[in-house]
Amino acid sequence: MNSRRDFLQKLGVSAVALQLGTVHVWANDKNASHQPYDGKVLRVAIMGLGGYGTRVAGAMQYCTKAKLVGAISGTPKKLTDWQDSFNIPAKNCYNYQTYHEIKNNPDIDAVYITTPNGLHHDMALAVAKAGKHVICEKPMALNAKQGQAMVDACNAAGVKLLVGYRMHFEPHTLEIIRMRKAGEFGKILFFQGLCGFEIGDPTQWRLNKELAGGGSLMDIGIYAINGSRYMTGEEPIWVTAQETKTDPVKFKEGVDETIQFQFGFPSGATASCLSTYSQNNLDKFYLNGQKGWAEMQPSTGYGPIKGRTFKGELDQPVTTHQTVQMDAFADILFNGAQPPVPVDGNEAVKDLKIIDAIYLAVKTGKKVDLNLS
């Protein structure tokens, strides 16, 4: 069996973690204090041991307030590998038929669901029923109806529901948000979000309507959707959208290749965004105001994030996003911390309402009104 180091390197996690390092900050305070932590540690089991689950697991090795203690998978070999590589006790490992038994395991506080989108809803409901906090990757569900059911189930069970909005803790992002709140850009006029790459294997789950819920919009388009909201500081009130499909064999019915979508905001600001599975080199946010502008490129990748404004280059700390996120989640769950941008289920339902509206706008060719209150 591989050693932990070999396992991490094989999956590309330790190299990423070592390259990016960790800076446990939520904003741009380069002089933040890093006193030894002696508070309660969030004990997490990861459900779904694929590429992203493995990235989170690797990043959590550097957390101070959160610890990986469990694993849930439908693949027995992955469970045994993780036991060895991440020092996970066998008693904290479950498969998809037995994970409801975590209700009897006092060593697990929360389950982080990193499975395909189409599985999130049922798994979240089961985890909540087991009395564990739910952490779910984005998009949280296939549609707003499912998302609201997840919120309701967690509320009924008395557990918290958090969503993996890692950019909500990224220092360059938070510096632009700080500048916008301080009025340094003046009245916000326009946002642009470009998210895309050329997707490979046509048999992967991201191109499966049942598992993904769509195509590029459900995968990377969520970044532009959510980014338009935290960058402008407003909620959109209408959406228009258009779909382009050049390869109907690879991108079957219900799986979008490219969608362009536009938002209008109460202040009169607008947004123009694109998500695509057929173009590389698209990871850019641009915010324009009456007094100045901000640009991020890369804007949402795993790092390092780069940004500049009309005042010059941003020099905020580089972080390992998932490490900072998981430590922040511990503060939210145990200490009642309030993040600069919400990361709860209600925040995710708003994004899902927008996704529903975008698909409706594509289908009808009409402007769709939004009410996210």
Active site residues: 138, 223
- Alpha-carbon distance of 230 to 180, in angstroms, equals 10
Query: Can you tell me whether residue 294 is helix, strand or coil?
Result: strand
For 105-144, b/e burial (b = at least 16 CB within 10 A) is beebbbbbbbbbbbbbbebbbbbbebebbbbbbbbbbbbb
Q: Which residues contact 100 (CB under 8 A, 6 or more apart)?
A: 126, 129, 130
Distance CA 229, CA 347 (A): 10
CA 297 – CA 286 distance, rounded (Å): 9
Q: Which amino acid makes up residue 177?
A: I
Q: Measuring CA to CA, which residue among 118, 167, 123 is closest to residue 143?
A: 118
Question: What Cα–Cα distance (Å) separates residue 22 from each residue in 26, 128, 170, 277, 338?
Answer: 12, 31, 11, 30, 21
Q: How is residue 246 written in tokens? A: 């050049």
- Which amino acid, one-letter code, is at 75? T
